[in-house]
Amino acid sequence: MSEITEEKIVIVEETSGTSKETSEHKPVELIEHKHVENVEELPPELEELLQTDPSKGLTTDEVQKRLERFGRNELAEVKTNPFLKFLSYFTGAIAYLIELAGIFAAVVQDWLDFGVIVGLLIVNAFIGFIEEARAENALDALKQTLALKAKVWRDGQFVEVDTAELVPGDIIGLRLGDIVPADGRLLGLSVTGNETDSNLSIDQSALTGESLPVDKGKGATVYSSSIVKQGQMLAVVTKTGGDTFVGRAANLISITVEQGHFQKIVNAIGNFLILITVVLVGIIFIYQMVHFRGTHNGEFLVVIGKCLVLTIAAIPVGLPTVLSVTMAVGAKQLAAKKVIVKRLTAVEEMASVSVLCSDKTGTLTLNELTFDEPYLCPGYSKEDILLYSYLSAEPGANDPIEFAVRTAAEESLDILKNRQNKHEIPGYKVTAFVPFNPTTKMTNATVVSLDNNEVFKVAKGAPQVIIKLVGGDDDAVRAVNSLAARGLRALGVARTNGDNENYELVGMISLLDPPRPDSAETIRRCQAYGVDVKMITGDQLIIAKEVAHRLGMNRVILDANHLVDPDKTEEEVTQHCERADGFAQVIPEHKYRVVELLQKRGLLVGMTGDGVNDAPALKKANVGIAVHGCTDAARSAADIVLLAPGLSTIVDGIMTSRAIFQRMRSYSLYRITSTVHFLMFFFCIILAENWEMRTILLILITLLNDAATLVISVDNTKISQRPDKWRLGQLITLSIVLGIFLTAASFAHFYIAHYVFGIPKDNDNEDKRMETIMYLHISSCPHFVIFSTRLSGFFWENLPSPTFFIAVMGTQIFAMFISIYGLLTPAIGWAWGVGIIGVSLGYFVVLDCVKVIIFRFWSFEFTARVWPTPQRKQKLRNRIERKAFEEKISHNIKKVRKVVLLSKVISAFRSAANKTKTIKA
């Protein structure tokens, strides 16, 4: 049965066969339920090309000319060279600095350092390249959605051709089960060329998000890749290739090439570290060139070699590797929960997502039309309407409405369960059946009750037809209007009694694409984690509002016109996007625009979907999530693919990604702090004391500490209740403060060892224990800070995992034994070794308190006042205004509550007084 389109009719009383309106009985109108579709005007020059004779079609010569003008009916391919993609992992601020250090190492022929640098760069590139395995076939998948062959009139013959050869003006034939090969306009002619009044039932849910097949007649547009569910008709091709509905989606995907959020963060950290490294090492280079001018120590290559060692030890060579490994481990954890990560950095970005835009059909809902609560006339039950609907349903019909009716009856009625013969209905026999057709808009069955041989008829069809069949029913009209206002589809069911040919109404079936069982809970949990969920669907507005209501969302759903209103500024449209709970009747460009506007607001946006219409927005979003059962186009455009039905695994993804984010942020804070400390200490000590540490010890510190922190990927974390943010200003400021404290500790070790314990500080002295003391201190003291940077509170609020603790402590115990027994450096004995480790452990507790104080003091208001950029000042004003508005609303609500409470008290007193008077009387 094709989609029911309700018309406005007036139901009036009929007396002696004459219809009349009476003052006692006011007519009730049935609300019209129209299908809203985006219609595009074709340019006049293209319209001229569409005036093809439907009985002959285009000639071969004309087809060739149009192929040259419009191109083939296929999507352009964009291929990425795998080798160039691999090389892209050697780009970025930190990578460039590491590569520069590698060049310097080769110049001074320091092959050990050169090997370490090149090895780390290649390892990091392979991790990113192999783990991501980025699927660059979004356009290929969209191409596969096109039909391979098409029936077309050419040179007066109805022939089969490749879809790629279709051109505007071609006359194509569309039949049941066909995939529409190009955008076209229906001609109202059958495949044989005769005029037809019947329509085509088109399933375009994967393109537009509509939950029901759409009924389309003469003059209507059919879209490439939609599916013909019923009927047959000729159409003239209007658009091909990249100009089609699917083609525009492909174009949106191809232009969406932006630097990821995570890469921007890493580059920002890298730029900061590059700046301080280049400045401080540059000053040291100039100082040594001038100070040791004319000596061996002042030679260019010697000075470059010393600066190279500092640079290698200072820059976070392992930062990209540690972060990549952390995300890779997280991706494997998500895979165990049936969440497949295609782009590795999406793991980090998902933790920061604050808005989740979701498609409705097939994502929040099942995309399966199902039986909802019916309207029943007196004397009939839900079982009755299901039985009569089943009796009048066409067996095996390829129609979602008939399928929904039959499925609901078979699942609910006992007599239809456990039947030996699925074609028989126990106790009943259908002796005649008239299937649905567009003229009558109903099905009709003649049924015999085998219990008493009663013969009766059952009719099922469009509400206006069934209501007219029973002679009118105002209550039924109101019921249908109520269902229509909620976006539910109604079907009337009526039957005759015995030999009486008059029909009486049984009730109205209501049908809806229902929410998935876990959708409401998923939305609630997302909101609890600070993620705002917005529904963006191509379905009708009233249907979207009803689904939003059932999902526990607010019903502020706007139609797509709000996104393209020429009378509104982009700022006003952006505010609509922020405040609305969703948009309906959208096309792919609209979904793309919603995501784009929210991103311009500084928000990280996630997008879920399953259809071709979702693919551009999935690619544009910071994190695109393709749900179970999605199309190839959606799967290819997405960063994350859900293998399990429903959206519940999204919450698992959010929690896992936030845990991973905390580990990455912890390591980044530790590594920046270590770099700041290292540069500040050696900058000052070289200028003040001309004291240096051997290359092998500096590299040993870097390798041991970075190797230990690789296991941060399995460390315990404290998951935040709000979307995570890097807050680079806070991160760098805290790193500088902690770096200053560590530098102070390093100087304390240096001068206390020299002045209190008499350890020589001169590098030329035979007693080189100072180098060992400073090696063990610089290895352990900054390294233990990672126990503090794991969370914003005190370190004991969430203790590290045993594996992480053992790895960190193990490297420092190893360094301690090296220092105690002098394996690579002069021995300092147990007293110095244990003492330095003990002081480092105690000092990290002091730094932990400093960190907590800074986190508690720091706020956005503080940032906006210390570094008042125009954007921050505007954001601060907006926050203050919003807070004042919310306080005003809260104050008014309290007033209203007081008035209501006072009214109830007065009412209670009056009621009690009246009772007292009654008793006395």
Other C-beta atoms closer than 10 Å to the C-beta of 686 total 20
Please compute, for residue 857, the number of CA atoms within 13 A of its CA located in the half-sphere on the CB side: 10
| Residues, the chain | 921
CA angle 891, 895, 898 (to 5 degrees): 140
Beta strands at 454-461 and 489-496: parallel, antiparallel or unpaired? antiparallel
Helix (H) or strand (E) holding 98: helix 93-107
Distance (Å, whole) CA 383 – CA 414 = 10
SS3 721: coil
Distances from the Cα of 518 to the Cαs of 369, 432, 467, in angstroms? Answer: 17, 43, 37
Cα torsion 544, 548, 549, 551 to 10°: value is: 140
Please give the full DSSP string across 844-869, using - where no structure is assigned: HHHHHHHHHHHHHH--HHHHHHHS--
Distance (Å, whole) CA 439 – CA 341 = 51
3-state SS of 113-138? HHHHHHHHHHHHHHHHHHHHCCCCCH
Let me know: does 167 contact 73? Beta carbons within 8 Å: yes
3-state SS of 328-384? HHHHHHHHHCCEEECCCCHHHHHHHCCEEEECHHHHHECCCCEEEEEEECCCCCHHH
C-alpha 474: how far from its chain's center?
46
SS3 445: strand
Let me know: does 313 contact 701? Beta carbons within 8 Å: yes
Let me know: does 97 contact 273? Beta carbons within 8 Å: yes
Backbone angles phi, psi at 640, to 5 degrees: -130, 140
Q: Which amino acid is at 633?
A: A
Q: Which of these is catalytic: 359, 473, 610, 652?
A: 359
Beta strands at 557-559 and 532-536: parallel, antiparallel or unpaired? unpaired
Please compute, for residue 246, the number of CA atoms within 13 A of its CA located in the half-sphere on the CB side: 37
Distance (Å, whole) CA 566 – CA 668 = 46
SS3 414: helix
Distance (Å, whole) CA 568 – CA 589 = 18
C-alpha 115: how far from its chain's center?
41
Q: Who's near 256: CB < 8 A, 6+ residues apart? A: 616, 619, 620
Let me know: does 611 contact 207? Beta carbons within 8 Å: yes
Q: Give catalytic status of residue 359 as yes or no.
A: yes
Distance (Å, whole) CA 834 – CA 66 = 85
Please give the full DSSP string across 565-605, using - where no structure is assigned: -TTS-HHHHHHHHHH-SEEES--HHHHHHHHHHHHHTT--E
Residue tagged 């495949």 (tokens): 191
Distances from the Cα of 378 to the Cαs of 49, 508, 842, in angstroms? Answer: 59, 12, 82
Distance (Å, whole) CA 521 – CA 183 = 39
Residues designated as active site: 359
